[in-house]
Amino acid sequence: MAFSFVKNYIKIYSWRTISLISGFISLLIVVPHLSNNQEVYGIYIFCISFTLYLSYADIGFLGAGLKYAAEEYAKGNRKKEIEIFGFTAIILLLMILPFSLSMIYFSFYPEIIVSNLTLEGQKIAGNIFLIIGVLSPFQIILQRLTQCILIIRIKEFISLRIDVIFNLIKIASVFYFFADGKYLIIEYFLFINLLTIISGLVTIVIIRKTENYDFLALLKAMKFSRKYFQLTQKLALSSVFLTVGWLIYYELDLIFIGRLFGPNEVAIYAIGFTFLNFLRSLWNIVFSPYSQRYNHFVGNNSEDEMKKMTYNIIDYTLPLCIFTTTILVLSTKFIVLFWVGSIYTDSIIIMQILIIGTVFGFVVQPASYYFMAKTKYSFIYATAIILPLFFVIGLIIMVPVIGIKAFAFSKTIAMIVGFIISMVGISELINPVKIIRNWAIPIIVFLILAIAIQPKLLSIVFPMMTKSTLDLILIITISSFLVIVSLSMIFLSQKRFRLKLKEIIKNKKKWSEFLN
């Protein structure tokens, strides 16, 4: 079984990389078209930010169910796995219905929640809210259930393949909806929602064939169960706190800005926020394939394997996170100006601050998987309460002074606090300080060289900084090349990694042991 997981990891990494490339193409093509009209783009981003609720509407039960379903899958108990998903699905459905009705109501009265709207803006916002209320709930139920089924099997690559194909269709559609002076943003939003629903139905058909999954049994299992409520309620409650905290300090920026300021400020902040979400997708590629292995290890009581995997994840991703963050921060000015033009100059500092906050993923991500798998409630609650508290306090202090930049600063401060909590929590399993200490000198040398050389290099390559798709592709390519070269040099400079590389090349079993 171990080696089959290795093959699945490789497929997931491959398709997540392809998905990331399609996401980059989307940033390259879709965002410049949408952002041409700053006011309408701000309205669009503000309205669709409400769909974030759908990502967390299960109030923690789907996440808790995912953990226990993964344990049952590891034990080979298909019946209990389906029953757990059926219970969590009905919770998700019941929580989505009020949201759907609210969005339909706001479609008639959008001015209630969006500040400074023109009559045309009210019409656009109303139509977007109506589409969200009618189509988005169905879309999210399909996505969440199919993803959960595949994730616990370490077969997420199946849905990724389908998503990539449909995402490319969405990207190509931009040239129809926004070409020749057209700006059909309502029609575009309706089209991409329908495509997402179709992709979910295709995924169901494939799962039915490849996994012999009984969706009829899943439909019959969609009912409230006291047994599974008692099993999941404690972890779900902690997940609710974590979800609410995550929403406050990470996801609601655009809604707060739209309510406090207006659509233009939303558009300016959205550039940095959109790139941050793209970066989150990058880190998700790196870390998420291992999330369910924590649950597998708990189900099989494999503590030593969990320690080994966690140590390797942090050891390998620490330089990756620091190098990527540093190079992107130094490239931000060029990325923004080439991407959306000089009218978004104010987005540069916002994007830089938001990118800096992602540097701590090498500890935060594996720590979060560990906390959930081992039900470390004290750390889950600490994260859920302390991070949004620091974020809100930062906003109260800084918004009157620096405006929307306060959201970026407060978010990064909260991420630093989350890093400290993660360091303390993961120390129960391994010693992350030892890993950081091992990398300290090479990292410091890299930072000095990067800060001294990269800005001068980019200024020579790009003497002119105006909106340009070709230059945007080139700056991203150069940044990626710098990350790859820097990582290769630093890994090969370490004797322990040279020895590991030789072992991996000589013996596939070593590769299997490392990944699992």
Average pLDDT over residues 72-78: 80
CB 257 within 8 A of CB 237: no
Give the span between the Cα atoms of 371 and 379, in whole angstroms: 7
CA atoms within 13 A on the CB side of 379: 22
pLDDT of residue 236 exceeding 70, the answer is no
**pLDDT tens sequence across 446-498:** 999 999 999 899 999 998 888 888 898 899 899 989 999 988 888 887 777 77
pLDDT of residue 60 exceeding 70, the answer is no
pLDDT of residue 445 exceeding 60, the answer is yes
User: How confident is the model at residue 511, as a pLDDT?
Assistant: 46
Residue 262, SS3 per DSSP: coil
Residue 429, SS3 per DSSP: coil
Residue 476, SS3 per DSSP: helix
User: How confident is the model at residue 398, as a pLDDT?
Assistant: 94
**pLDDT tens sequence across 330-358:** 999 999 999 888 888 999 999 999 999 99
Average pLDDT over residues 391-410: 92
- Percent of the chain residues past pLDDT 70, beyond the cut: 89
Q: In which band, very low, low, confident or very high, does the pLDDT at 514 lie, cut at 50, 70 and 90?
A: very low
Lowest mean pLDDT among 224-228, 274-278, 364-368, 377-381: 224-228
> Under 8 Å CB-to-CB from 509, ≥6 apart: which residues?
none
User: How confident is the model at residue 504, as a pLDDT?
Assistant: 65
pLDDT of residue 1 exceeding 60, the answer is no
pLDDT of residue 82 exceeding 70, the answer is yes
**pLDDT tens sequence across 171-198:** 888 888 887 777 788 898 899 889 989 9
Region of 233 (left: φ > 0; alpha: ψ -120 to 50; beta: rest) is alpha
C-alpha torsion sign, points 268, 269, 274, 280: positive
**pLDDT tens sequence across 418-440:** 999 999 999 999 999 999 998 99
C-alpha Rg value of the chain to the nearest Å: 23
User: How confident is the model at residue 115, as a pLDDT?
Assistant: 67
CB 347 within 8 A of CB 316: no
Phi, psi torsion values for 351, nearest 5 degrees: -65, -40
User: How confident is the model at residue 142, as a pLDDT?
Assistant: 85
Q: How far is CA 353 from CA 53, 266, 276, 358, in A?
A: 25, 17, 10, 9
C-alpha angle 507-508-509 in degrees, rounded to nearest 5: 90
CB 234 within 8 A of CB 67: no
User: How confident is the model at residue 2, as a pLDDT?
Assistant: 43
**pLDDT tens sequence across 242-282:** 667 767 767 678 778 887 887 788 889 988 888 888 888 78
Average pLDDT over the chain, rounded to whole? 83
